[in-house]
Amino acid sequence: MLTLVTGGAGFIGSHIVTALLEAGHDVRVLDVLLPAAHGDRAEPPVLPAGADWRRADVRDRAAVEDALRGVDAVCHQAAMVGLGKDFADAPDYVSCNDHGTAVLLAAMAATGVRSLVLAGSMVVYGEGRYACARHGVVRPGPRRVADLDAGRFEPPCPQCGDPLAPGLVTEDAPTDPRNVYAATKLAQEHLAAAWARAADGRAVSLRYHNVYGPGMPRDTPYAGVAALFRSALARGEAPRVFEDGAQRRDFVHVR
């Protein structure tokens, strides 16, 4: 089977390429090498032997259609990642993530490729699951500056103000995207669902949660807290911890 991996030179994408090749599949890689994830590299990345490398933007319809020739399935990892600095970044996120996905899906419909695996994200769930002893599962609002200044870091019940108990988020939990990146990732899922219905295709979205492991970028918003802590320890410094240090995260190994 020939699989096209968009973003296949990235942290997660490169591991997918390796896994596919080790399983005996043929792999084609399409990646524009966004500086936010790859730095200002001028040369192609070192990919496993046997991978067909194409440097192109997923928003380039002609390049995408050419990359789809003979392809059986697509694993769509290409995206602009992180939360952005402010809302001024919104056009870039929407262009890379949603317009890029729309171009890819239109090209897949035109070339007859009917199988898609999409890189989703846990951020579509919002703040996670919280329960109040009196009101059950609730959705807390944004944290207030006055609470943060007073050292109250956990959100209260939006109905009665009592403390909340955090819980596990289930796969069928309501989506509640609360930043531009999250909104674009959820929009990708809706686009994929619309494509699947219109083109008689099938799509699966994998909602990744704080991925870490070999090849993880260092000291960038893309990498996350695990990489920042590791780099600090390697320099002989104490990791910088915000708030009370009691916050928790799930981490999933890239492999």
- 88-108 pLDDT per residue, tens: 889 999 999 999 999 999 999
CATH code for the domain in which residue 87 is found: 3.40.50.720
Residue 170 burial (CB count, 10 A) = 8
User: How many domains does the chain divide into?
Assistant: 2
pLDDT value of position 84: 62
**Amino acid identity, position 180:** V
CA distance 136 to 157: 10
223 — pLDDT class (breaks 50, 70, 90): low
> What is the domain range of residue 153?
131-167
| Alpha-carbon distances, residue 28 vs 1, 17, 48, 86, 109 (angstroms) | 11, 8, 11, 35, 18
User: Taking the chain, what is the end-to-end CA distance rounded to the nearest angstrom?
Assistant: 21
- With contact defined as beta carbons under 8 Å apart, do 15 and 41 qualify? no
Q: How many CA atoms lie within 13 A of 35 on its CB side?
A: 3
20 — pLDDT class (breaks 50, 70, 90): very high
Asked if residue 56 belongs to a domain, the reply is: yes
Average the pLDDT over each of 109-123, 162-176, 205-219 and give the range with the smallest value: 205-219
Question: Beta strands of the chain (E only): which ranges?
Answer: 2-6, 26-31, 52-55, 73-76, 115-121, 129-132, 136-138, 165-167, 202-208, 211-212, 252-253
Query: Are 75 and 144 members of one domain?
Result: no
**SS3 sequence, 127-147?**
CCEEEECCCEEECCCCCCHHH
Of residues 249 and 70, more confidence is placed in 70
Asked if residue 229 belongs to a domain, the reply is: no
Query: Are 117 and 158 members of one domain?
Result: no
Query: Are 103 and 154 members of one domain?
Result: no
217 — pLDDT class (breaks 50, 70, 90): confident
pTM (2 d.p.)? 0.89
Query: Are 35 and 12 members of one domain?
Result: yes
Asked if residue 223 belongs to a domain, the reply is: no
Asked if residue 255 belongs to a domain, the reply is: no
Q: Which residues pair with 33 in a beta bridge?
A: none
CA distance 14 to 8: 5
Work out the mean pLDDT of the chain and round it to a whole number.
91
- With contact defined as beta carbons under 8 Å apart, do 176 and 122 qualify? no
Q: Find the radius of gyration of the CA atoms of the chain.
A: 20
193 — pLDDT class (breaks 50, 70, 90): very high
Taking only the tens place, the pLDDT of each residue in 116-172 is 999 999 999 998 899 999 999 999 988 889 999 999 999 999 999 999 999 999 989
Asked if residue 182 belongs to a domain, the reply is: yes
Query: Are 58 and 154 members of one domain?
Result: no
Rounded average pLDDT over 62-79:
97
Q: Which residues pair with 76 in a beta bridge?
A: 6, 118
Question: Residue written as tokens 């096209």?
Answer: 4
Residue 220 confidence (pLDDT) above 70:
no
Taking only the tens place, the pLDDT of each residue in 226-250 is 778 888 999 999 998 889 888 877 8
Of residues 142 and 25, more confidence is placed in 25
Asked if residue 250 belongs to a domain, the reply is: no
Q: Burial level of 253, CB count in 10 A (0-12/13-18/19+)?
A: exposed
